[in-house]
Chains A and B, each alone.
Chain A
């Protein structure tokens, strides 16, 4: 007789949890010993990691490849400025509200762009982002085409000292990156995650078993917009200045993010983490070579996509059987009943 058992833990997943906790504790201690420049760099890494997790959730798990996520970075940033300047909302409180506004705008947008499939969806989302950019460039109350800075009184309302502001923004950035990673992990381990991976791997079969493709993808799109909107608000809270071209930049908020995910490993939670580290390492290495940096980055992404579509992390993980964030369900079968103990 053959019996089966479903389990998801792996030996490395416990190591993964410990490692993650150690890294988070280490990051939380940074403001007490590192300088401003280091903190700014880590915040930047944190928001790129968070953006990459959101993009990976869509492209790597839900089959929604978007070249238009800069729409929600921009909307989040502009929502923050609008709420803080015109509604006197404290900037840190405006952060989650900016995410909500992005999610609300994502609903009607989804109904238009979801009419396109596959690669056409990708370009459709890009058009949508362009529409938001062009519309916001017409809003003179938000600085029009040239943009505006966050007034000094509002900046001071975040915290009195520069150090205090840096710390708040730092902890918020780390929190967003951790939450984005945890969100993707928990979502994928839930039954919705099972529906998602089923859709990605065999759309027809999943639909015939009762998975509603439209609803599942719509939810992912909205959740990703919510996260991306909050990250956008944080980005422009750190920059203190916003303009349509910076807020809706496809190369900053989408090209870089796509390269991070592709190089790290698409469809794996560890992928964006590895990708972010590689991205910033390459940037530091090629800082003196201007545009060559983007050429090399694009070239590496193309080579990875062709030669190792599972990404750098995929190469390592498959070789050594590592899986720090297990979201797969593994089935084990035994010929004569299960052994006394299984490490589920």
Chain B
């Protein structure tokens, strides 16, 4: 019983990381209907930015966010303004194929710059400290920190979207970009801000990923698939749904891993396919598309 509870608990906390992967993807889809195939590779890029920051300055990985978040914010703004804005409003192919090309470019550029060796960031005592919940049950402080951060980030995005002036502009361009422009909203700037914001969230996810597991230039696509599955399970356009989707995916993976370590990924994919067959619009759908 405790073992089962432990599996579910670990899976839930893992789901927090997946929700962080997914929040950025969900945000940019919600605001500009852009599905970013390079999302996973941008997560890995942010992890390498953190690696460089840590190695160059000697600060800890969590503290490196002070550098990684602004860097990725700028990367996101530039990427959207310089490249991705021109793919919008031209049908499904340009955004899909341009971000796909970008994904291959980032992967190979990282391979060129950092080799295929796997890396990891060390967070010292934080990685092994745990909180005892019962005689046979404990949770690590670090997974708990990831989960709570995911909840905080999603709550923050929710407040930003529904309580602030810029959030109102985001929702306006999402609902009707033409009308929004008539009211003086600068769509291209807003889309760039949305991508910058998404990559700021990605930075947080990336640092957690880099402390939690090994990473190398090739692990991006798998992160994209996890993020995508969390978004679809939760239902398009719903940020809290994305958190639920991440948790379901995390629990499915950790239950699968418990049965046989080789089944971890397969169990996650199967959970996703089941939701797709039984509830094609996800569990908590909001957007129509």
Contacts and interface: CB of A to CB of B under 8 A. Distances in A.
Interface in A111-137: 112, 115-120, 122-124, 126-128, 130-131, 134-135, 137
A262 interface: yes
Nearest to A266: B93
B100 A123 contact: no
Nearest to A126: B225
B221 to A, nearest CB: 7
Interface stretch (A8-16, A180-188, A289-297): A289-297
Interface in A269-283: none
Contact of A302 (B98, B228, B229): B98
Interface stretch (A22-30, A94-102, A250-258): A250-258
A72 interface: no
Question: At the interface, is chain B mostly helix, strand, loop or mixed?
Answer: helix
A264 to B, nearest CB: 13
Interface residues of A, number: 44
Given A67-B37, A118-B92, A305 B101 contact: yes
Nearest to A118: B92
B273 interface: yes
Contacts of A65: 92-93, 96-97
A66 to B, nearest CB: 11
Contact of B104 (A112, A127, A298, A306): A298
Interface string B108-129: 1101100000000000000000
B96 A119 contact: yes
A134 B104 contact: no
Interface residues of B, number: 40
A292 B110 CA distance: 11
B266 interface: yes
A306 B265 CA distance: 35
B102 interface: yes
A112 B289 CA distance: 17
B133 interface: no
Contact of B37 (A122, A128, A291, A306): A122
Contacts of B83: 302, 306
Contact of A291 (B102, B111, B270): B111
A297 B103 CA distance: 12
Contacts of B104: 251, 255, 294-295, 297-298
A206 B91 CA distance: 17
B86 interface: yes
B52 interface: no
A300 to B, nearest CB: 9
B262 interface: yes
Contacts of B225: 123, 126-127, 130
16 contacts: A65-B96, A115-B276, A115-B280, A122-B37, A122-B96, A126-B225, A127-B273, A134-B266, A135-B266, A145-B262, A250-B221, A251-B104, A294-B105, A299-B105, A302-B101, A305-B101
Interchain residue pairs A-B with the least CB separation, the first 8:
A119-B35, A302-B101, A298-B104, A298-B105, A115-B280, A291-B108, A294-B108, A298-B101
Given A65-B96, A305-B87, 18 more contacts: A63-B92, A118-B96, A119-B95, A126-B221, A126-B225, A127-B225, A130-B269, A131-B273, A137-B262, A145-B262, A255-B100, A294-B104, A294-B107, A295-B109, A299-B105, A306-B87, A306-B94, A309-B90
Interface of B: 35, 37, 83, 86-87, 90, 92-98, 100-102, 104-105, 107-109, 111-112, 221, 224-225, 228-229, 232, 262, 265-266, 269-270, 272-273, 276-277, 280, 289
